[in-house]
Structure 1
Amino acid sequence: MLLATQLERIFKFTDKGHEIVLTDPEPKWSVDAVLNFYANTYPILTTAKISHPKIEDDKVKYSFESVMGTKG
């Protein structure tokens, strides 16, 4: 018999040189909805893009990558 299971999603981003790992607030939400949810707590995420998911350790890992540049 074949069983299908939904893998847990993990979200991460780097802020000031520190990697921050975020849990999935609601598995039914889209990845964009999760990004918007966490942008309320982490303003750097308001301009972030979402990387392609990677499966590691039976979890789907997404990275939020800041697209803010430096002024110069």
Structure 2
Amino acid sequence: MNLIATTYKRVFIIQDKGQPVELADPERSLSPQAVLNFYANSYPLLTTAKVSEGQVRNDRIEYRFDSVMGTKG
């Protein structure tokens, strides 16, 4: 029996103005936290976000960057 190793594409998802935005993986060797830090320069809402555990969907691994800022009022 032959084993086949599969490498999944990583995708990072944020909610921007209520819409999901998929961000490409800038470098496979970066940890998900490092990718969050990389994109925080372009998306300031990521400065207070956390990384969800990756989930395999449609032959890719999806990580979500969820803001931990509360709403006032």
Same fold (TM over 0.5): yes
Q: Which runs of 5+ in 1 are unaligned?
A: none
- Distance in 1 between the 2:4 and 2:41 partners? 37
Instruction: Provide the residue aligned with 1:40 in structure 2.
Output: 41
Deviation at 1:5, TM superposition (A): 2.2
Q: Which runs of 5+ in 2 are unaligned?
A: none
Instruction: Provide the residue aligned with 2:13 in structure 1.
Output: 12
- Distance in 2 between the 1:15 and 1:43 partners? 10
The one-letter code sitting in structure 2 at the alignment partner of 1:22 is L
Q: Which secondary structure does the structure 2 equivalent of 1:37 belong to? A: helix
Q: What is the aligned-residue identity percentage? A: 54
- Distance in 2 between the 1:7 and 1:13 partners? 19
- Distance in 1 between the 2:59 and 2:38 partners? 24
Q: Which secondary structure does the structure 2 equivalent of 1:32 belong to? A: helix
Quote the RMSD (CA, aligned, Å).
0.9
Give the TM-score normalised by the residue count of structure 2: 0.92
- Distance in 1 between the 2:34 and 2:54 partners? 15
Deviation at 1:15, TM superposition (A): 1.4
- Distance in 2 between the 1:23 and 1:63 partners? 12
The one-letter code sitting in structure 1 at the alignment partner of 2:23 is L
Deviation at 1:71, TM superposition (A): 2.5
Count of aligned positions: 72
